[in-house]
Structure 1
Amino acid sequence: MSSTAPPVAASTNASRRTVAVGVLADHTSILWVYKVIPFLPLLGMAAAFLPSRRTH
């Protein structure tokens, strides 16, 4: 059997992200958030090139 997270966990994470974006929009502006959000996937791609934390 494959172990997958229950749907509740996924919706909780989505809710947290939504709240974080809302707080960011409150502190800056919604236009600034709209300009920054498209670049977030680039951060994820750049993270793939970070060195491994494993020590041998």
Structure 2
Amino acid sequence: MTALQAIKRANSAFHSYCQALVTRGKSNMYVIGAIMHKIIRSAFGVLKHDTPFVKNFAKPEN
């Protein structure tokens, strides 16, 4: 249910990822599964590093 809400919200960090998958021709269930996986990875990262969620987070370049 959380993945469905993340897909529906236009300002969500996951909405653009969802649209990219749809334009690549992925099925609806594939998109929902991918969003669920991305939410789990984001939640784990936030809890592991004890930092707030950053919408456009990227690894620093070395």
TM-score by length of 2: 0.44
Structure number, greater radius of gyration: 1
Q: Which structure: greater helix fraction?
A: 1
Higher relative CO (CA 8 A, sep ≥ 6), structure 1 or 2? 2
